[in-house]
């Protein structure tokens, strides 16, 4: 069952309560970008990277959750913040297990397709290596980062956006903001304009898949965070530490997957049984 908070002595669905503040969306996005400025400055002033292709500015992953907590507290005080954090739980749903497959395997599958296509086209790709300890450590770190981001993007922003514009339009809009937010760190990682453009295109398409997954797993933060984290993990596991990653191929594959989702599921909801799951 969705988390509840009390307002004026009445229990209210926390998801509906948090999403009932559409006037705070612009404030949320502005706050996320403002909070990111110190990290962008740090990335400009420092040379070392957290991982290959990941500058210090990537620590800005704390900004979406920080902005969400501040705004939810202003709107619903401590009870609202508690309800926001409870949204990491997955509601009980008889069909929930079927979504474990896209949650954990979708992004690895896309990377396998990318690798196969690039090898078919004659790219001299090394054989991928998967060091167990390093992969597990990296997976945990990326999951923490993804949770911090998705508490903001999915936990605070996407519901009022869907209510106003529908799932597909909201996904594209949020995906565009998400992509633009990453431009400064990408520049600091010395990516070319073409690389950044294709990466942004793939990121917008990935947000469509994230919203699709979110709407079909009871609007829980955990599944989309796992999906988000897996995308970063497989990027780092792509030969060599992501240096052979081609955003053009990746973006096209993700976009094709997003098109299939939009065609099969309703563009207005991107969900097959949302009401039944949320009950």
Chain segment 123-133, per-residue pLDDT in tens: 899 988 889 99
DSSP H/E element including 190: none
The band of 93, judged by pLDDT with boundaries at 50, 70 and 90, is low
The band of 52, judged by pLDDT with boundaries at 50, 70 and 90, is confident
Question: What residues does 55 pair with on adjacent strands?
Answer: 49
The pTM assigned to this predicted structure is 0.89
Under the phi-then-psi rule, with left for phi > 0, alpha for psi from -120 to 50, and beta for the rest, what region is 143? Answer: alpha
Asked whether the predicted pLDDT for residue 10 surpasses 50, the reply is no
pLDDT of residue 99: 82
Average pLDDT over residues 39-50: 90
pLDDT of residue 228: 97
pLDDT of residue 72: 95
Question: What residues does 12 pair with on adjacent strands?
Answer: 5
Alpha helices in 46-166 (DSSP H): 62-86, 100-120, 132-152, 158-165
Pair 85, 71: CB distance under 8 Å: no
Average pLDDT over residues 62-87: 95
Number of helices (H), then strands (E), belonging to the chain: the values are 12, 4
Chain segment 14-23, per-residue pLDDT in tens: 555 454 444 5
pLDDT of residue 128: 86
Q: How many CA atoms lie less than 13 Å away from 139 in the CB half-sphere?
A: 14
Domain coordinates of the chain in residue numbers?
4-278
pLDDT of residue 116: 95
Average pLDDT over residues 56-74: 97
């Amino acid at each position: 069952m969705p988390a509840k908070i009390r307002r004026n002595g009445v229990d209210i669905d926390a998801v509906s309560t948090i999403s009932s503040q559409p006037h705070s969306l612009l404030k949320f996005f502005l706050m996320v970008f403002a909070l990111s400025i110190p990290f962008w400055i740090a990335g400009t002033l420092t040379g070392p990277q957290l991982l290959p292709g990941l500058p210090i500015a990537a620590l800005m992953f704390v900004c979406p959750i920080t902005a969400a907590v501040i705004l939810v507290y202003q709107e619903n005080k401590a009870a609202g913040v508690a309800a926001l954090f409870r949204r990491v739980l997955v509601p009980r749903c008889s069909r929930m297990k079927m979504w474990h497959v896209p949650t954990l395997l979708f992004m690895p599958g896309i990377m396998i397709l990318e690798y196969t296509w690039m090898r078919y086209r004659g790219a001299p790709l090394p054989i991928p290596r998967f060091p167990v300890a390093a992969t597990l450590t990296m997976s945990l770190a990326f999951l923490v980062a993804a949770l911090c981001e998705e508490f903001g993007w999915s936990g605070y922003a996407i519901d009022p956006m869907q209510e106003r514009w529908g799932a597909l339009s909201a996904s594209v809009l949020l995906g565009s903001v998400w992509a633009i937010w990453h431009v400064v760190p990408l520049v600091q990682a010395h990516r070319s304009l073409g690389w950044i453009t294709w990466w942004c295109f793939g990121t917008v398409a990935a947000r469509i898949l994230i919203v699709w997954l979110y709407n079909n797993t009871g609007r829980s933060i955990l599944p989309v965070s796992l999906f988000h984290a897996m995308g970063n993990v497989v990027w780092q596991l792509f030969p060599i530490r992501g240096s052979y990653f081609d955003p053009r191929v990746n973006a096209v594959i993700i976009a094709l997957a997003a098109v299939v989702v939009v065609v099969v599921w309703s563009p207005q909801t991107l969900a097959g049984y949302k009401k039944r799951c949320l009950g």
